[in-house]
Amino acid sequence: MSQNDEAESEQLSLLPGPRRRRATSRPAPKAAQTDPVARVVVDTGLAHLDRLFDYLVPADLADATRRDILRRAVEGELSVSRLAEAYPMSFAAVQKHIAVLERVGLVTKQRRGRELLVTSDRDAVDRARRALDELAEAWKGRVQRMADLLAEGN
Amino acid sequence: MELTVDQDLDALTLTVTATFDHPVDKVWDLYADPRKLERWWGPPGAPATVIEHDLHAGGIVHYKMTIDGGQEHHGRWDVESVDAPNSFVVLDRFANADGSPAADMPTTTMRFALAPTEAGCQMVCVAEYASRELHLDKGRLSNETRRAA
């Protein structure tokens, strides 16, 4: 094989397996409420895919997927391509979810050789959880005091 | 009074949903009347005093919380929008004693919505952390001070 063919094979091996398109058309999926359209770049190095795509992020997959990606990242390091195999959506869509988790500081990507690993920033996850827990406790107290004040009457 | 609290770890939001046996106007008053607001905003160990209160778009609410020993922590709401008595949005921030915003501190956006129900009123508050650097809610300061002492 020529060098180019080898390089392309390596890159193609990162893609999840081919999906068969069903002959019957399906209704358009309900889009996610926030960020319904992800403008993505497909990271395969194939020239004809080297442009921006608009991907419709399905509502039922959006949040559950991010939580699942976070769970996997907390359990152990995973390459972006291995993560992508786990979800019934395009590689680019998985990258978009990872990007959201990165933006809020819950995961980081680290290059190891040719692979991109998604790791959880445990400290950030713990801090986030603790901060939200504490805010929740503060509000439980506030709502009780509001109810007490209302009961006092005017 | 009923209460549910939901956390969204990747959006860094907390959603508080509470129902009260009183009408919307009375619940709205708890925010709109500074003398009422300061009676419930802070916990018993760090009661709040509202110093300035202008609950209109562009206005600010300046308050302080006084820890048992007399130590004061100031905060403020930058009021983004108000639709009395149905909803309002503020940016909750740390403040200096003169009410000016403290530099380089995280902020929390809070969106409040009140809606009438059969029995009274439902309040929904969505609090969203704006920063990756998370700090304790000012309402917890009293416990923090005790631990540090």
Q: What is the pLDDT of residues B82-141, one digit of tens each?
A: 999 999 999 999 999 999 998 877 789 999 999 999 999 999 999 998 754 544 444 333
Residues of chain B with pLDDT > 90: what percent? Answer: 70
Q: Which two tokens stand for residue B80?
A: 């983004």
For residue A32, how far is the Cα from the chain centroid? 13
Q: Across the interface, do B139 and A124 touch by the CB < 8 Å criterion?
A: no
List % helix, strand, coil for chain B (3-state, nearest 5).
20, 45, 35
Q: What global pTM score does this model have?
A: 0.63
The nearest CA of chain B is from the CA of A124 a distance in Å of 8
Least confident of A91-95, B12-16, B74-78, B111-115: A91-95
Q: What ipTM does the predicted assembly reach?
A: 0.88
Nearest Cβ partner of B18 from A134, A143, A148?
A: A143
d(CA A30, CA B108): 30
Q: pLDDT tens digits, residue range A31-83?
A: 666 555 555 555 555 566 555 555 555 555 556 777 787 777 777 667 888 77
Tell me the average pLDDT across A93-105.
79
A-B CB pairs within 8 A amount to 91
B35/A108 Cα distance (integer angstroms): 46
Phi-psi label, residue B120: left if phi above 0, alpha if psi -120 to 50, beta otherwise: left
Look at chain B and report how many structural domains it folds into.
Answer: 1
Portion 41-100 of A in contact with B at CB < 8 A: 63, 66-67, 70, 100
Interfacial A residues in 24-43 facing B (CB < 8 Å):
34
Nearest CA in chain B to A145: B40
Q: Which residues on A lie below 8 Å from B22 (Cβ)? A: 150
Residue pair B1/A149 in contact (Cβ under 8 Å)? The answer is no
Tokens of A67: 């939580």
pLDDT value at residue B103: 81
CB A66 within 8 A of CB A107: no
Chain A hits for B129, CB-CB cut-off 8 Å, are: 131
| Confidence at A106, pLDDT banded by 50, 70, 90 | confident
Query: What CATH number has the domain bearing residue B76?
Result: 3.30.530.20
Q: Give B145 or B132, the one with higher predicted confidence.
A: B132
Range of the domain at B90: 2-148
Span A8-21, pLDDT tens digits: 666 666 666 555 44
Closest CA to B87 of B107, B116, B115: B115
Interfacial residues of B (vs A; Cβ cutoff 8 Å): 1, 3, 5, 7-12, 14, 16, 18, 20-22, 26-27, 30, 36, 39-41, 43, 123, 125, 127, 129, 132, 134-137, 139-140
Which one of A118, A144, A149, A154 makes the best mutation probe of the B interface by having the most chain B beta carbons within 10 Å? A149
Residue A3: CB atoms within 10 A of its CB come to 7
DSSP, res B101: B
**Token digits for B143?**
């416990």
